[in-house]
Structure 1
């Protein structure tokens, strides 16, 4: 699937030009006219890169970057590029200290813009692939050295297709995986009892099931539950579930590196 880029720019015509160039290059786009709009979008949307003007009304570029880093940690690894009509040494130093990844000056050179975006996205992909490979090697080493018994995992969702990529990744790691339809969850206590981990794709049925566990003070199995959350799951709700004993949450698009970390941790605990 093409990468998704959030464009934040208060000049409407320039914003439309940027979006058109990115779409012509094959990227998906989201747009915001200021930092306030961008932050609202990022509460519910996962993006691969952020382009942001520095001088904007309501919330300017540096403040937008600061708020995203502080309040929306799920986007901490997303490349952030400033668009600016001024790029003094002092401006660049301030941005670098805040965590900005690059600067592009106006008027925009679109060939340079596309080359910069491509380079930043490739860098992110290389880091992710390296981390995943390292975690996979560690997991396999632990499995070979300490335990011959594979980790058992249940995947709970409305449709098998929702969790098929995760199932494939887990099977590649040597896990025993079973799919449980969410409508059968209430009568499949064995799915919780016999498996080392349970990944639940968040939905109304799953929410009701978790609420029942909490309301009846049932603690068995809660710690090994992992909630897979799409963009529409409220942050406060996720935090409340974690506080009440649900093991972990992973946000869409469910990065493999996060899955591997949980598998590694469960393997170590099992050993």
Structure 2
């Protein structure tokens, strides 16, 4: 899957030039002409990096960065690079305090642009690989310590198998016994929670009714083993209500592997 970059720039010709350079380098590119458009895109799209002009109509670059960091936590770890015609010391300090990762000055040096993008993406990739490698080593050590125990049985419940394929592959690598269950089968698989050590459920109306039904029938066995994978439609109050119904914990989109591995580690220790 190609790396996806969101480019936010109100100068249409410059936006087209930057997009072309990035596409020629093999990146998928999404575009926006102001911060308002960018935020709408980021509500529904997963990107790997954001290039953002500072001076824009409607919502400028610094405000865009602030709103993304505050309201879209699923994008906390993506690099954010400002494009600016002037980058004074004060501008740079203010941006750094808000969490911007780098600056590129106009007129754009495209060789420098591509080098900066590649460097920032490599840094994120190294951090992710390090975290996942560390957690896998810990999990392997725990499996060795508990070698007499059966592997964890994990159910993945979603509308479509494609939604959770990366998670399924990771769990299989860890030695878990993984089963995918279409959410429509929940009506005939009411014992799915009881029969598995962990159940990851991608939130939907069907999943919501399933959880509510367990609460109404006062089903308690294994309810703490459910992990709800939340999308943007699940706000804080709804999460709280679902936890009170019996969900053990929640994970926000894009479902960071590190968080999933932590849950697996805890379940292994308690098995």
Q: What is the TM-score when the length of structure 1 is the normalising length?
A: 0.89
Residue 239 of structure 2 corresponds to residue 241 of structure 1: yes
State whether residues 214 and 244 of structure 1, in contact with CA within 8 Å, keep that contact through their aligned partners in structure 2.
Answer: no
The aligned counterpart of 2:79 is 79
Q: Deviations over 1:131-182 (max 9, x none)?
A: 0000011112122224632211111234444433322211211212222232
Unaligned 5+ runs, structure 2: none
How much has 1:221 moved relative to structure 2?
3.7
How much has 1:215 moved relative to structure 2?
5.4
Distance 1:19 1:211 in 2: 47
Structure 1 residues 221 and 250, CA gap change in structure 2 (3 angstroms): farther
How much has 1:193 moved relative to structure 2?
0.4
Superposition pairs for residues 1-271 of structure 1, below 5 Å?
A: 1-146=1-146, 148-149=148-149, 150-214=151-215, 218-229=219-230, 233-236=232-235, 240-245=238-243, 246=247, 247-252=249-254, 254-268=255-269, 270-271=270-271
How much has 1:219 moved relative to structure 2?
5.0
How much has 1:87 moved relative to structure 2?
1.0
State whether residues 152 and 197 of structure 1, in contact with CA within 8 Å, keep that contact through their aligned partners in structure 2.
Answer: yes
Unaligned 5+ runs, structure 1: none
Aligned length: 266
Distance 2:224 2:57 in 1: 45
Task: Judge which range, 121-130 or 136-145, deviates more.
Answer: 136-145
State whether residues 83 and 104 of structure 2, in contact with CA within 8 Å, keep that contact through their aligned partners in structure 1.
Answer: yes
Q: Deviations over 1:5-50 (max 9, x none)?
A: 1111111221122112212211111111111221222122211001
Distance 2:220 2:34 in 1: 45
How much has 1:125 moved relative to structure 2?
0.7
State whether residues 242 and 248 of structure 1, in contact with CA within 8 Å, keep that contact through their aligned partners in structure 2.
Answer: no
Task: Judge which range, 129-138 or 32-41, deviates more.
Answer: 32-41
Structure 1 residues 139 and 243, CA gap change in structure 2 (3 angstroms): farther
Q: What is the TM-score when the length of structure 2 is the normalising length?
A: 0.89
